[in-house]
Structure 1
């Protein structure tokens, strides 16, 4: 029998839904917004690549802390106050970072904002479920739409803001938006009371988690600088990371109230879902960062041009999310997931064909289809993490899902930086070894460059050196783009692995708990 239609939403409920969507959007924006302004921040505050990495590391570690302490805070101050507190921390940390001119202090303000985003993203879905108990699948749709749409619009938004008047506006705007969402959420959401009992919390487990994640971050960001196998500093980090990682898992297996309920990983469907989501998130965020760096760094696109190339991704993802909202059900969820991951892998492989002469219209077209495939897989990737789990298991699984939301993308971004340097150097070494065979065309090109710049040179004796500098710069740019091709193709293989794993998801019984739509 068809259920009776639900009553229309009241004005307060509409505001609550809009605030929940905006909160998820802000988290998505937070994950990809620094891609374009980052290089300009480094120059503006007088930092460098390796010192500035502490800022991105603070964002990852702060998010993990915010996500992990939620159960402890919820039992003491209530979910509603956790949600509002997360929005306040995000707004305060972001606005404080606008005025900073020191990378260490910027890392601290970024960590504060990241704790806020961690609290927000872990509470917003529960807040929406509490507000709309009869529209839980619809609430998941709002959550998924905001999260993935925020990731895809952030680079274009930052491109529009970074010049007006500076990169600081790209930091201030989301923080100010969080303040507006805070006001709307305070007025529209129902407050909940703290729980009658204060559940024990695994603070030693949290300390061990933060320790080994910090060591992992140092490894993927600094070991390439220090030298992987000869540096004393790297050896210390190796040792501390190994000890804390083993200690963390021992703690989770022996504690009465562990931070992670590892028994959930015995559930085949949930374990597969966590891995598939990690592969999808790492692919989307890392490839988007690689393409942004390619356009701004290797091709020298103006910031607004790079944003315009990425802009068609927005309607591509909106269309995919809208189709999922209209036609997505549990029955076709696996099919949509497989098709989305296959499309993501194919489009990512196509993006691996970019070079120094790739047409921006072709790039925009492939990115649009790529974003559509990410949107097609987005809702299934989220929903399969809830399939077959009881409400108690959903709550217990939050720590695992939250850490797997951050760690794979952190590793993906680190691998991107390491692989880009290593592949670029390797390709340049090969080019140097073939320079004798290529000497005649190099001589012709160098002579032609001297003819072109000769009329504008004040020192004709410097023309050979200037022409040689142009040729060597072109060779390095080519090597870097070829390295970008290789790294993007690696992530195409990762997306393909996610598609293959999706084929092994077992069908659920008709009466299994979990979202029926999406």
Structure 2
């Protein structure tokens, strides 16, 4: 009986005609909203981290774990999408993942402490893994083949709007209501998307079959990724390798990774097919996109934190400054689909990396008196390389692969990219902290009562403000801390620009690719 049901489902899935009319429009909106919800959630928390940290009584560094642990859990679950789809069915998995995402969002909103919030964010990241690749696959199956580029363009537009809406919504909700609402917003959106998707697609379910799962590989993946992420997040607080905890975590991460690598190379049904790295284009493209995304994403996290902590920007204003990132990206995506077939993808990727480098070099000259337009301009311009970033590099990564390898390759490249986003955020935060401490030491080297220039400055502060010596010293210290943080962040921006220039040769080690716009995979 079960066998006949599966066969019947497979027949329905294969022979189902594309959707049309109002049903197609409604389906597109529902599926796109699921993508939007996940992309929104990866950026909406960025501007709320200082508020969340303050309300829960933790440091901003600890608050950043809300982002990094979500990213790590999301990265781990992505490689499971293919296996889960074949085991459960594409539509059931998609709707179930949306409902679990809604539930975990509610748990995030009601979390009374940081540990509870982090647990809910890990669950949220894990169940979000299948949503983006499945949303693209479902949309492609809903449109006629000759309109697949339209389906992909609509999907990309939705995914790109997230960076615009996320900071704005996150800032507005945090300032006007509470940070919990940045998670509660997913509830109505997710319930609508799940309901509409189920009613339209439940008769178009894909075939299911029982496949073995690489339990050992999955276990090893969870262990080394978790150990590495916790080590990076706790390193600053525990003074890195002066702490036995950090040493143990580092050993677990290293041994776990080596074991995972060896196991996956010998396993018949690996959770991640690491043999794909033998391909020249996959190797070069995946390394390039992973490093680039690590730098790109970590800076999106640090910039609003700095504006709120040291420039006094409210959450909404910080969101207004970071939101323009998506404007040029949305405008240029339709143009890119026409240019891609005519231009070498390596050229477009190079232009993207040079554009990112230019933006970060612009930011590396910021001062503590920077005006809003000077903050907005690089963010606005950053939308241009963002539009040239994902599609050409994805075309390089997937070029030359047989059709049966594309889902695994897309899953692995996405795992590497998203995981590196979390790692990059932790490393960038550490670099900012260390460089700020160094600049603070340098700025206070001459701050001594034996230095007449310093004592005269303190007397001038006292005369201008009417405060006593202790308060004048406090004013001086606050100024030094702000200046040191600015100089430290400038160093992060400068290093970010250098990294984008340095990884350009990785792209040119790959083979030429044209016409990659049509190679975006259903499992991306």
Q: TM-score, normalised by structure 2?
A: 0.89
Matched, 1:304 2:309: no
Q: Please show how residues 281-296 of structure 1 align to structure 2 within 5 Å.
A: 281-296=293-308
Q: Does the Cα contact within 8 Å between 1:388 and 1:513 map onto a contact in 2?
A: no
- Residue in 1 aligned with 2:120? 109
Larger displacement relative to structure 2 (364-373 or 48-57): 48-57
Contact 1:348/1:370 (8 A) holds in 2:
no
Mapped to 1, the partners of 2:371 and 2:284 lie a distance apart of 38
The one of 201, 223, 233 aligned to 1:189: 201
Instruction: Give ranges in structure 1 of 5+ residues lacking alignment.
Output: 1-6, 458-462
Alignment of 1:85-484 (within 5 A): 85-132=96-143, 134=145, 135-189=147-201, 191-193=203-205, 195-329=207-341, 331-435=343-447, 439-454=451-466, 463-484=468-489
Distance 1:150 1:48 in 2: 27
Q: Pick closer, same or farther for the CA change 1:414–1:285 going to 2, 3 Å.
A: same
CA contact under 8 A between 2:353 and 2:385: conserved in structure 1?
yes
Alignment partner, residue 60 of structure 1 = 71
Please tell me whether the aligned partners of residues 214 and 269 of structure 2 are also in contact (alpha carbons under 8 angstroms): yes
Query: 1:354, 1:485 within 8 Å by CA — same for their partners in 2?
Result: yes
Task: Name the CA distance, whole Å, in 2 between partners of 1:485 and 1:111.
Answer: 31
Query: Which residue of the other structure, out of 84, 90, 97, is the alignment partner of 1:73?
Result: 84
* Cα shift at 1:480: 0.7
Residue 249 of structure 1 deviates from its aligned partner by 0.5
Equivalent pair of 2:164/2:324 in contact (CA under 8 Å)? no
1:499 maps to 2:511: no
Q: CA RMSD in A?
A: 2.6
- Quote how far apart the aligned CAs of 1:375 are: 1.8
Question: Which stretches of structure 1, 4 residues or more, deviate above 6 A after TM superposition?
Answer: 509-513
The 1:295–1:510 alpha-carbon spacing in structure 2 relative to 1, beyond 3 Å, is closer
Q: Distance in 2 between matches of 1:18 and 1:215?
A: 39
Q: Which moved more, 1:135-144 or 1:348-357?
A: 135-144
Structure 2, unmatched stretches of 5+, are 1-17
For the 8 Å contact 2:346–2:513, the answer to whether it is kept is: no
On the 8 A contact 2:92/2:205 being kept in 1, the answer is no
Shift of 1:53: 5.2
- Provide the rounded CA distance (Å) in 1 between the counterparts of 2:291 and 2:46: 20
Larger CA deviation: 237-246 vs 39-48: 39-48
Task: Provide the C-alpha distance between the structure 1 equivalents of 2:450 and 2:478, rounded to a whole number of angstroms.
Answer: 16
TM-score (ref. length: structure 1): 0.90
Which 10-residue stretch deviates more, 171-180 or 402-411? 171-180
- Whether the 8 Å contact between 1:344 and 1:495 is mirrored in structure 2 is yes
Question: Structure 1 pair 243/11, CA: closer, same or farther in 2 (3 Å)?
Answer: same
Q: Distance in 2 between matches of 1:52 and 1:338?
A: 34
Q: Distance in 1 between matches of 2:62 and 2:306?
A: 22
Instruction: Note closer, same or farther for the CA distance 1:328–1:168 as it changes in structure 2 (3 Å cut).
Output: same
For each residue in 1:10-39, what CA deviation from the matched residue of structure 2 results, as whole angstroms up to 9, or x when unmatched? 221122222333222222222222111112
**Deviation of residue 348 (structure 1)?**
1.4
Partners of 2:40 and 2:458 in 1: CA distance: 45
Match of 1:4 in 2: none
Return 473-482 or 29-38, whichever deviates more: 29-38
Distance, in Å, in 2 between the alignment partners of 1:29 and 1:116 is: 15
Report the Cα distance in structure 1 between the residues aligned to 2:490 and 2:370, rounded to whole angstroms: 12
8 Å contact 1:314–1:371 — kept in the other structure?
Answer: yes
CA contact (8 A) 2:344 2:514 kept: no
- Relative to structure 1, the CA distance from residue 41 to residue 436 in structure 2 (aligned partners, 3 Å threshold; closer, same or farther) is closer
Report the counterpart of residue 14 of structure 2 in structure 1.
none
Count of matched residue positions in the alignment of Structure 1 and Structure 2: 503
Tell me which residue corresponds to 1:460. Answer: none
Instruction: Measure, in 2, the Cα distance between the counterparts of 1:360 and 1:252.
Output: 50
